[in-house]
Amino acid sequence: MYFALDIGSSFIKLAMLENDHILLLSKVNTPKALPLQKGICEIDSAEIFNAVKKLIDNAITQCGTDIEGILISTQMHGLVPRIDGVMGNYISWQDRRCLEIMDNSHLSYLQAMQEKVSMEQMAHCGVYFKNSMGLCNLFALLNQNNIAPNRCEIFSLGSFIINQLSGGNIAHITNAAPIGMVDLVHNCWDERLFALLGLDGLKMPAIINAFVPCGRYRGISVFPDIGDQQAAILGSGTMQGDININIGTAGQISILQDKLCIPPTGTEIRPYFDGKLVCTVTNLPAGRNLEVLINFFSQSASLVLGEKISSEQVWENILDFQMLENTDLRVSLDFFEKGASIYNINEQNFTPKQLLFAAYNTMAEEYTKALQKLNLEKTKRIVFCGGLMQRIRPLTQLLSVKLGIPDYAVSNADVFYGLYKLAKGENL
């Protein structure tokens, strides 16, 4: 029997895994981001750990200590810095401080990094600098505060949790690589790139490839942190030749491949299991984009009715919506970068239901464009996973139609199944 943690952007969940069965024991909201200036997304790391520890301790009280291990999957890209021995906040993948303009420069911190290191120099890393990458936002943090890199130790969110449970600083490669500048050929940090950016001396987590215990908590083995996307793909049963669409708070479309290559334009290469890799397109519209519309519906209903209507109530109601045949209303969903818009409005189509389905149409169009970037010659099946795909079946159906692939499967509890497969040695 195992305990499995799924530490996501919206929820922290703990399940018991035994004999191919998954029992969700508890689910709490992930702590909210601190009220800081625009573009900064930090969460109190102690709050995250305390929530995780409470779930584990309650599960031990409920189930006992006859547990083979604690398995962990987390959201990726973010990091926790420890500066001068003081553990900092979790800097989320939704942080954007690297887009700020540097002092005495016309460049942003991100652009400055891109000038120092070319895309070709990072081809073996599988991913180039981008605004959600942990090291890009750390580069901004250190420069803004004149902090020497050798004063700082970096943790992935998972290695931070493991450190607080049992000590050490070990990150599985699936969680280390998205932080940035991991050499996927040799499975190590590329010290040359750190030096080019003036980040030599920065202490990074030890990278582990194997799925073996890396610590103990209350006598129970603690296993290394697995990236949530890779855990979900594994748990969903995605095979080579399948398209995986993973839509939760964030969204990706991916395929599996055998060899490391220069990522096609607009894609990333991420480490997977058994020597395989994930070729993926990220930053696609997903739950956090729809949440903007849901909050609009919630606030509008509350204002009109004179009573509090929560976003959770709205979500529950829209799950019963049936697919519209068509709508000519148009919605862009780029709320977090350029700004979104609603257009082609007329007296017939400006309704909450058509607004929502216009958003679904936009999502389907974006995933169709993303699929073309993956250069997949032929596929027979889509495998859908992620919390949103499990709940909104009209969106699943629409994506299947727009992509022109009628054969699809919808996976449930994919992250937990992925962790269980790893624990049992059933990777692929």
- The DSSP string of 263-279 is PPTT-EEEE-STT-EEE
Pick from 21, 11, 156: which is nearest to 76 by CA?
A: 156
Per-residue pLDDT, averaged over 77-105, amounts to: 94
pLDDT at 315: 85
Rounded to an integer, the average pLDDT of 157-166 is 96
pLDDT band at 230 (very low <50, low <70, confident <90, very high): very high
β 90-91/42-43 pair status: antiparallel
Q: Is 148 helix (H, G, I), strand (E, B) or coil?
A: coil
Q: Give the per-residue pLDDT at 391.
A: 78
Quote the CA–CA distance of 286 and 246 in Å, as a whole number. Answer: 9
Does position 186 have pLDDT exceeding 70, yes or no?
Answer: yes
Tokens of 107: 């460049």
Which is it for the CA torsion 264, 265, 267, 272, positive or negative?
Answer: positive
Calculate mean pLDDT across residues 407-413: 81
pLDDT digits (tens, 9 = 90+) for 116-152: 999 999 999 999 999 999 999 999 999 999 999 999 9
Output the average pLDDT for the chain: 91
If one compares 410 and 182, the residue with the highest pLDDT of the two is 182
pLDDT in tens, 342-367: 999 999 999 888 999 999 999 999 99
70-74, 127-131, 259-263, 405-409: the lowest-pLDDT one: 259-263
> Does 218 score more than 90 pLDDT?
yes
What is the share, in percent, of the chain residues with pLDDT greater than 70?
A: 99
Q: What domains are there in the chain, each with its CATH number?
A: 2-229 (3.30.420.40), 238-410 (3.30.420.40)
Closest CA to 420 of 175, 71, 170: 71
The pTM (predicted TM-score) of the whole model is 0.90
User: What local confidence, expressed as pLDDT, does residue 428 receive?
Assistant: 54
